[in-house]
Structure 1
Amino acid sequence: MLRSMYAGISGMKNFQTKLDVIGNNIANVNTAGYKKATVTFQDLMSQTTSGAQGATDTRGGINATQVGLGSKLGTISNIHTQGFQQTTNNPLDLAIEGDGMFVLEETDGATYYTRSGNFYLDDNGTIVNSDGLYLQGLAGNITIPTEAQSFSIQTNGTVNYINAAGGTEQAGQIGLAGFSNPTGLQKAGSNLYLDSPNAGLMEALVTPETDGAASIVSGSLEMSNVDLAEEFTEMITAQRGFQANTRIITTSDEILQELVNLKR
């Protein structure tokens, strides 16, 4: 069989994966805290028909002759650039301005990270996300007493509330997690990430606005960083690449048909 057929098949598979990633990006264009993904390809091993030779006293050097055998998937990377902020005027909608992640925990101690800052108060007054995971402060869960008249969240993560007597008290301070390689985080669904050995967790909880840490903006949500114009351009490129690889298979099939017809 012709090597071009297998090369075309590998290209079709890779461009299909690229289209899958693009489709997921477009589907999450309005998902708070979503970070777009990009795909890269790598060439497969090449078949060497003749090796390279160095120069001699009577003849110059000769390069190797190789035929490529197709392509393979290189990486699928999440791009953690800043998304634009959408103003909601909800004090529990929080956006991170800078690098970092909100830290969420389950009651069993499982830890998750997110850039999606749409939080709520449960029946105990504890700040949770839409799945009921607890937002972590520097001293653990953050609970606002049910008798509080109002509350506010400062840019350094401090959560203040007005008590029944009209005085101001502090319910806690939101902490952020920093990663040297946020691209290494693993997506867990529901806008959540899991730590991985390659994410480079620098410190479990850091104080916002200290030592270069990000600040927190209350009343806003960080939206997706997906650029529709870019995604549509990539989609057209992937579609044409897929079509070109199908044409390679069609052309190779026509050549094989001609070889079969030689017997007649």
Structure 2
Amino acid sequence: MRSLFSGVAGLKVHQTKMDVIGNNIANVNTVGFKSSSVVFSDVFYQTTQSSSGPNKESDVAGINSKQIGLGAGVSAISKNISGAGGSQATNNAFDCMLTGDSFFITKNAGRTYFTKNGAFTVDADGTLTTSDGAKVQGWQVDPDDKTKTKPGPVSNLNIMAPENMYTDPEATTAAYMSGNIDKTDTQLASGSAGRTFQTNFYDNLGYEYTAKFNMKQSSVSDNAYYIELKDILKDGKSILYTATTNDTGTTEYTATGWGANVTTEKQDLSGVGAPDITDGKLTFADNFAFMAVFDGTTGKFKSLAADGADPAYDSTGLDENAKIKKMFLNIGGKSPNPFKNIEIDFSQMTMFASSTSSKIESTMGDVDGNGKGKMKGTLKGASIDSSGKIYGSYDNGDLKLLAQIAVANFKNPAGLESVGNSNFVETMNSGRFDGVGKDVTSEGGKISTGMLEMSNVDLAAQFTDMITTQRGFQANSRTITTTDSILEELINLKR
């Protein structure tokens, strides 16, 4: 009896569906898992009588065919690739969640895989990897423009390569002075020793230095302040001379060969002369002193006076067409020279009343933050932005582009084949991966960091399918037991 075999076919397909449901439920908390569903179809029919059309000559009507079905089969087991799973916050900087139909690209033992599981980490070589040891693929930094990545064949992302562990130092080329001078401040009075202020800067090797200046009021003008370079220090010691004490207790001073001065224009550093040293006091042979001149009406900074080497300078004769807002600090005289000309801006200073107290501050870089210089940077951490670009953060404040995670898109993502570990491989029906990948934002997607995409299994739907599958299996088993009863009655005919 055909019904016996139809019942068996029904049991098999419902068993297959139950296997799929069981797998879905088992992976309800698997990161990046995509649920599957089963589609049934009827199978081969046995035709006991073929159909025939009406015949007007014989006056016979048409007859439909008579067919007996032989059960059900599995038509398809499809994956719900486009359905997004829930997001889970992990606060791990390397955990990534994709939106859209894109896939992360990984490579393991020479084979390329695609996954939605963004639980990444860094191995001992500094390479971005998945939890199962596959290497995440992406693009490297463009050698011609370090602020961009260069799309091309994907490769391993060695974000902690030796060249990424540090950033180069830079010499300071600009600084500006700020603060307020109270002309009644006795520390700045013309007959006093003056007030010391300093500005810090870096050389090309990343060493930090301090330029020491002295300021005091002009003896003939309340609105002009004499500024004189005093010394250049490193770690609290002058770089312009060394001091040694001989056996008699006398201190001897020896020039190091370095020189320094301040000028109105950039100077060739090789021509900067060394200062004269007398009892530890420096006299800069080719040094220009300046006067900082303020507007006595508004208290605003007015100009630097380049001819203000005389402390008795009178600012009332300042030429309005010769205003100077900046001066250059030049250090040189030896080779190789790691220093650069430093432009010091005084235009941010004011001369307002402040209870006889003055405050002078120096900031590296110009008012826009350019030219501040920096010491060598050591990598302290990394972050990933929404386009998959990976940036390294360094202890000197640098933020450097290290690489970019690329993604893959397929014309038919449901055609990908699952191979375990939340990985997929391409098939003939999924479309081909071009080996280059895409920027995730080019398809309208993005990467969210510190989050993971969880399974897209809908438990309510799975339990409902489980009920219908159980009932379907139960009904098909009744077909078999009923057929068995009929066969039993047939055998009993002989009694």
TM range (shorter): over 0.9
2:439 to 177, 194, 207: 207
Q: How does 1:105-120 map to 2 (within 5 A)?
A: 105-106=107-108, 108-120=109-121
Cα distance change on mapping 1:110 and 1:157 into 2, 3 Å? same
Cα distance change on mapping 1:157 and 1:166 into 2, 3 Å? same
In the alignment, what sits opposite 1:179? 410
Cα displacement (A) at 1:85: 1.1
Please tell me whether the aligned partners of residues 37 and 77 of structure 1 are also in contact (alpha carbons under 8 angstroms).
yes
CA RMSD of aligned residues (A): 1.3
In the alignment, what sits opposite 1:163? 394
1:248 to 472, 479, 488: 479
In the alignment, what sits opposite 2:240? none
**Partner amino acid, structure 2, of 1:207:** D
Cα distance change on mapping 1:203 and 1:217 into 2, 3 Å? farther
Please tell me whether the aligned partners of residues 100 and 213 of structure 1 are also in contact (alpha carbons under 8 angstroms).
no
Deviations 1:130-183 (A, max 9, x none): 111110012422223255211110101100011343311111010000011111
**Partner amino acid, structure 2, of 1:90:** N
Partner Cα distance (2:465, 2:433) in 1:
34
TM-score (norm 2): 0.52
Question: Unaligned regions of 5+ residues in structure 2, if any?
Answer: 141-154, 166-377
Please tell me whether the aligned partners of residues 139 and 157 of structure 2 are also in contact (alpha carbons under 8 angstroms).
no
Instruction: Name the structure where helix makes up a greater proportion of residues.
Output: 1
In the alignment, what sits opposite 2:92? 90
Q: How does 1:44-193 map to 2 (within 5 A)?
A: 44-57=43-56, 58-80=59-81, 81-106=83-108, 108-139=109-140, 140-145=155-160, 147-193=378-424
Cα displacement (A) at 1:109: 2.2
Instruction: Name the structure where strand makes up a greater proportion of residues.
Output: 2
SS of 2:409 mapped into structure 1: strand
Please tell me whether the aligned partners of residues 37 and 79 of structure 2 are also in contact (alpha carbons under 8 angstroms).
yes
2:448 to 217, 237, 248: 217
TM-score (norm 1): 0.95
In the alignment, what sits opposite 1:32? 31
**Partner amino acid, structure 2, of 1:144:** I
In the alignment, what sits opposite 1:15? 14
Cα displacement (A) at 1:189: 0.6
Cα displacement (A) at 1:88: 1.3
Question: Unaligned regions of 5+ residues in structure 1, if any?
Answer: none
Larger CA Rg, structure 1 vs 2? 2
SS of 1:193 mapped into structure 2: strand
Partner Cα distance (1:119, 1:40) in 2:
35
Cα displacement (A) at 1:87: 1.3
In the alignment, what sits opposite 2:174? none
Cα distance change on mapping 1:103 and 1:213 into 2, 3 Å? farther
